[in-house]
Every structure is written in C-alpha cells, then in structure tokens.
Amino acid sequence: MIEGHLYIFPLLVCILVPIAYLISFIVAIHLGHLKFEYSFFSQSLTNSPESCIYSQIINFTSFILIITIYIRYRQIAELIRNHPTCGKKCSQLNLTFLTCGMITAFSMSIIANFPHSNVFLVRILATYITFITSVGALYCEMLLSFWIRPLLYSSRILPFIRMILSIICTFIFIIFIIFQTITIIKYDNQEKLWTSISPGWKYHFGSSLSTWILTSCLLIYISTLIIDFRRIKIISPKIYLTTDIIDDQMNHRLSFSI
C-alpha cells in the first residue's frame, strides 16, 4: 500500500503551535488569569487549565515534528543513496540535521511541560536548547537544499527563501540571547506577569518579541517542506512472522487435526 499526503505533517506543526497558544490564551482571559493587553509578552501559561491544554497540544506537536524531521531525513538519505556524487559530507550534514531536529522537538516538549514560575531554570535551559538546535537544523537543511536542488527543484527560489529565513533566525536569536541574558542577570525574570511599569520591561519585551519572531520564522521554514513532501510517497511496512512462530502455528494445527 502506497501512502501520499505526507505534507500533512509539516502543515500540522505550523497549525498546531499557534492554536496551542490561542486556545490557552482565550481560556486564560476567560478565567481572569491574565490581562489582555500584556498577555503576549508575559509568562502567562502557568495556571491550570490553560497550561494543561497548552502542554497537551505542544506534546502532540512535538511528536508530529519528530515524524516530519525523520521523513525529511529519509528523503534526503534516499537522494544521497541514489546519487553517490553527493558525497559523504551530505550524509554527515543530514545526520546532523536529524540530531538537531530531534533535540529541538524534545526540548520544545520540555518547555511546554515545565511551568515558568515553578521550574524556571529547566524552562529557560530548554528554551535556549530549542532555539540553538533549531537554528542549527535550519542551516543544515538549508545547505542540503542547495546541494540537492538540481535533484528536486528547477528553480533556485525555494533554497534562497530558506537561506533568508535562516539568516533572519540567526539575527533574531542573537537579539534574544542578549535581551534574555540581561533580563535574567539584572532583573527578576521569574516574575509571573510583566507590565510596562515593571523594572526591565523593555528588555523583557525585546526578548519576548524576538521569541515570537523567531518562532514565526521557524514555522514558515517548516511550511516550505510542504512543497518537498508533496513529492514523497511511503510504502506501508509489511509484517512477517518469524520461522519459529510459523513452526509453532503449524505444530498447533497438526495437533488439532490429530
């Protein structure tokens, strides 16, 4: 059986991440757990039930992201296998992409499951790891897109779009590191709700805004994989019984016939 429509996996990732925050945001506003005007730049998703909703959706999204990354890894691996001229560096870069992508998906789940106010250190470390490995995965994938372009695309537009997104993500990530570090060292970054009169608000605002921009760019990059995944079909695996099991079944049938 041949299955298509694999583009649904990157599409789901791009849809579920905004939905996770939107639903949690609406619930938090309805229950009065946060103020509308500062919700997007506050550590708001720490109360139940909105934090539970957010965690469940992001956990599922992380699983879908793992599938997406693995499919992309296998697609490039097949191209490399069928075209040995790609060289060993493509295989190594593809493996690095897989590793960074898997770490990104796992650390994203950690962010969702460890509330900011309770285990701040774990959450902030997971945030750093998520962005570092995601940017690393972007560069690996972007370079692979250029190298395998003649095998997949007739146009150079898509690889260049990915290159621009990778550069933007790098620039925004540096801004995030600077503002977030200042917020952690100089101000109480564990504050649950930030307002414009809070000390260090501009640094917190800058780090939060850069987080949103970086996340948006990452999702846009993932959405470009929809084009590649439309060119892939997967054959459902066949399950074979081992010889021992078959022999046992035959003996069992013979015993009944006797």
Evaluate whether residue 257 is within a structural domain: no
205 or 130, greater pLDDT? 130
Evaluate whether residue 255 is within a structural domain: no
- Spatial CB neighbours of 34, under 8 Å, sequence gap ≥ 6: 28, 42, 44, 193
Evaluate whether residue 256 is within a structural domain: no
- Spatial CB neighbours of 243, under 8 Å, sequence gap ≥ 6: none
pLDDT given for residue 21 in this prediction: 85
Evaluate whether residue 55 is within a structural domain: yes
Give the model confidence (pLDDT) of 192-249 as tens digits.
566 667 777 788 788 888 888 999 999 999 999 998 888 887 777 777 766 655 555 5
Evaluate whether residue 158 is within a structural domain: yes
25 or 258, greater pLDDT? 25
Range of weakest confidence among 37-51, 131-145, 225-239: 37-51
Evaluate whether residue 258 is within a structural domain: no
Number of domains in the chain: 1
Domain span at residue 163?
2-250
Evaluate whether residue 222 is within a structural domain: yes
Question: Average of pLDDT values for 60-88?
Answer: 87
Closest CA to 93 of 116, 77, 117, 109: 77
pLDDT given for residue 152 in this prediction: 72
- Cα dihedral 61→66→71→76 (10° resolution): 130
Q: pTM score, two decimals? A: 0.83
